[in-house]
Chains A and B, each alone.
Chain A
Amino acid sequence: MNVVSRGFGGRRRDDPKLPPGQYLERGFPVLQAGPTPPVNTATWKFTITTETGDSTRWDWKQFTALPAEDITTDIHCVTQWSKLGTHWRGVSLDTLLDGIQTNAGYVMARSYGGYTTNVPLPDLRDGKAWIAYEYDGKRLPPEHGGPARLLVPHLYFWKSAKWVTGLDLMTHDKRGFWEELGYHDYGDPWREQRYQGD
C-alpha cells in the first residue's frame, strides 16, 4: 500500500542506528501492564531452573558479588521509541549460565508481579544479555525494573523483563505475557517483528 499523507513532511531523523519504524527518544518512557511491584533486596532471589528441575539460586549479596560488566547499548521499544547509547551495569548471562547443564533451547523469564516473557536460550548467550542492576551509574529505579531486570537489547524491550526473579529453561517454546496477547515470539527490531505474523 502506498498512502501519502498530504502536507506531512516529517523530521527526517533517519539514523542508521534506528531500526525501521522507530523514532529517537531522549527521555526514558516507562511501559508496563500493572503497578510497580515492591521488591526488597533483603528477600530478593534470582533462580535459574533447568528442564530437569535443577535450580541454581542467588540472593542479592551473592548476586552483586559476581563479576559485573558495564554495558553501553541502544534499546528499542515496540511502541516505536529507541534510545541510543544507554549505560547499564550488570551480570552477563554467560556468567550465570556457566556450569549449568541443559539441553533447553528456550527460556521463560519470570518477574516479581507475575510478568513473563519467552526468549530463545542462544539469544541470552555469547555476550548478548545481562541481569542489569544499575542504569546510568545509579541503582536501577523500580519503575525501570529495579532492583534488577533482564537486559536483552538486541530484541524489542518488552523481552528485557523488569523485576526479574528467575529464568526457566525449556525444551519447547512457550509464550509469555505479551506474546500470548499477540506480540511477536522473537521480536527482532531490525526485522520489525512487533506482532505475531510480522
Chain B
Amino acid sequence: MARTAVPRRLNWLAATVKEAKDETATARTLILDVPGWPGHVAGQHVTVKLTAEDGYSTQRDYSIANAATAGAQDGDRLEITVQRLADGEVSPYLTGVAGPGDQFEVRGPIGGWFAWPGDDPRPLLLLAGGSGIAPLMSMIRTHDQVKSQVPVRLIYSVRTPADVIYADELSERERDSPLMVTNVYTRWWAGDPPPGSRTGRIDASVIAEAGFPPEWNPLIFACGPSGFVETASALLIGSGHPPFTIKTERFGPSS
C-alpha cells in the first residue's frame, strides 16, 4: 500500500485569501495563496490557525479540496471547503467573514494514509457524506490533472440537491471523464429524484449498483460523519470488499 511519509518539520505559513466562493447556503470554498506551501497529495488535510488581535488563537483541521500540487505549477495554491456549523467558533468566520486579502496561518499537509497517489492502477470508489466530499473532490481533480484512465465512481450522500457541493463541476466532469456520480438524497419528498440519483440512505443495492464489484479490486475512500462512514464500511465489507482496501476519514463536529 503506497504511503506518503513526510517526517519533517511542518512550519506555520501565512495564507492569504484570494477568492471566496459560495458552494451552498452553508458551505464556502476559500482559495488561498500560501507562499512556500510544500505541496500535497489528494486526500490530505491542513491545520488552519486563526489569531485575534489580542493574540488569542485557535486551530482546526480541514481537508484540502484542490488537486495535488506536489511538484505542480500552481504549487502555492490551496483550497479548502468549509461547512458552516451554527455554533462553531471557526467555521462561521471562514464561511462568513474571511474575504479576499484576509490572512490566517496554515500548517501541513497532514496525513498520508487517506491519500490517493495519482498513479494507482485500481478503479477508484469514493463515498462521501455531506462535506466529506472535499478530499474526494481533490482526488477527482487530481485524476483529471494526471490524466489517469482508471474509472472513478462517486456515491455522494447529501440531504437535498441544494446541499450538493461542487454540483456544476461534478456534472461537467461526469460528462467529460471516466467518472460516474450517484447522489443519494437523504431528505427528499418531491416525487421521483433526478435521473441517476437515489433517495434514502445508502444501502447494499446502492453499493452494488453505483459502486464497483469486488472482483474489480477497487481502492475505496469513504469520508463523512462517523455514522455515514461506519454504515458505508459495513456495507462494503458485507458486499465482499476486503477491509484493507477501504480507507476512511471521519469528522465529528469540527466547530
Contact = CB atoms under 8 A, between A and B. Distances in A.
B92 to A, nearest CB: 10
B162 to A, nearest CB: 26
Interface string B22-49: 0000000000000000000000000101
Interface string B100-114: 001111000011111
A8 to B, nearest CB: 5
B10 A197 contact: yes
A113 B242 CA distance: 11
A27 B52 contact: no
A3 interface: yes
B78 to A, nearest CB: 15
A182 B93 contact: no
Given A5-B103, A181-B5, A181-B111, A10 B251 contact: no
Contacts of B60: 23, 80
B204 interface: no
B98 A182 contact: no
A30 to B, nearest CB: 4
Interface residues of A, number: 43
Interface in A148-198: 177-178, 180-182, 195-198
B170 interface: no
A29 B251 contact: yes
Q: Give the interface centre of A12, A13, A182, A196 by most chain B CB atoms within 10 Å.
A: A182
B14 interface: yes
A195 B8 CA distance: 8
Interface in A18-46: 21, 23, 25, 27-37
Contacts of B89: 10-11, 13, 23
B14 A25 contact: no
Contact of B247 (A12, A23, A34): A34
B255 A23 contact: yes
A104 B49 CA distance: 39
Contacts of A36: 230, 233
Contacts of A6: 102-103
Contacts of B234: 35
Contact of B226 (A9, A11, A30): A30
A70 interface: no
A195 B187 CA distance: 40
Interface in B54-89: 56-61, 89
Given A23-B58, A29-B251, A81-B252, A34 B53 contact: no
Interface of A: 1-14, 21, 23, 25, 27-37, 79-81, 113-114, 143, 177-178, 180-182, 195-198
Interface of B: 3-10, 12, 14, 47, 49-53, 56-61, 89, 93, 97-98, 102-105, 110-114, 226, 230, 233-234, 236-237, 243-244, 246-248, 250-255
6 contacts: A5-B51, A8-B50, A10-B89, A13-B89, A36-B230, A182-B110
